[in-house]
Amino acid sequence: MNGITIALSKGRIFDETLPLLAAAGIVPTEDPETSRKLIIGTNRPDVRVVIVRATDAPTYVQYGAADLGVAGKDVLIEHGGAGLYQPLDLKIAKCRMCVAVPQGFDYDHVVRQGARLKVATKYLNIARNHFASKGVHVDLIKLYGSMELAPLTGLADAIVDLVSTGNTLKANNLVAVEEVMPISSRLIVNQAALKLKRETLGPILEVFTQAVEKIA
């Protein structure tokens, strides 16, 4: 493929990347929410968008199946950065990685006592590093979704999950007790494509950089 392939996930990342693409003169011809197509054309014959799971975007870009992509910092940390150039924080899809516990659970006390904590999360690397740096002993339990359910059923004492409005925690009687890190999405670029397609990619990266400064 001579043109440019951009890997995006449906939902907030697609929606919040649209204005940046528009600034670069790129307008997708279909809406992934209503279309079942996984490859979407744009107004530019040399640019197409592939619709991927959020956690798969780095894989497509790493192997060059997509030249560009957008992925959350959470996804990038868990995936590892091999083969990926990460030139730009797009400052979109912002949220916070947090430790949350059931209301009334004395997290600080447990941590001070040095007791073991059972933590359920999708983000094993982030959670492992966070608790190691605090010197807290944890048993990590890997989940693939709905982390909020784990402390409510006795599967875990705490969770490490993303929080944006806080509504999901509140609806499940959980409270955030610690911020692990702020999260936003980054532009990711295939390292080989950056060299081989510099003429096409260079101007897109430049416009994105300017657009981020204006929009943020």
Instruction: List residues near ligand PRT by CB under 6 A.
Output: 9, 11-13, 53-55, 72, 74-75, 93, 95, 145, 161-168, 183, 185
Nearer to ligand PRT, 97 or 111 (CB): 97
Nearer to ligand PRT, 3 or 11 (CB): 11
Q: Least separation, in Å, of the C-beta of 209 and ligand PRT?
A: 20
Q: Which residue is nearest to ligand PRT (CB)?
A: 72
- Whole-Å CA distances, 160 to 19, 157, 170, 179: 31, 11, 15, 9
Query: How far is C-alpha 166 from the geometric centre of its chain's CA atoms?
Result: 17
Q: Least separation, in Å, of the C-beta of 115 and ligand PRT?
A: 26
The helix (H) or strand (E) run that includes residue 168 is helix 167-171
Q: Least separation, in Å, of the C-beta of 179 and ligand PRT?
A: 13
Nearer to ligand PRT, 111 or 187 (CB): 187
Nearer to ligand PRT, 138 or 183 (CB): 183
Do the Cβ atoms of 91 and 184 come closer than 8 Å? yes
Three-state SS for 185?
A: strand
Residues 6+ apart with CB under 8 A from 176: 96, 98, 99, 100, 163, 166, 169
Q: Least separation, in Å, of the C-beta of 74 and ligand PRT?
A: 5
Three-state SS for 156?
A: coil
Nearer to ligand PRT, 111 or 150 (CB): 150
- The angle that helices 198-215 and 12-23 make with each other, rounded to 10 degrees, is 110
Q: Least separation, in Å, of the C-beta of 53 and ligand PRT?
A: 6
- Whole-Å CA distances, 43 to 12, 21, 30, 32, 181: 21, 11, 10, 15, 37
Nearer to ligand PRT, 71 or 138 (CB): 71
Q: Least separation, in Å, of the C-beta of 185 and ligand PRT?
A: 6
The backbone torsions φ and ψ at residue 178, rounded to the nearest 5 degrees and listed phi first, read: -160, 140
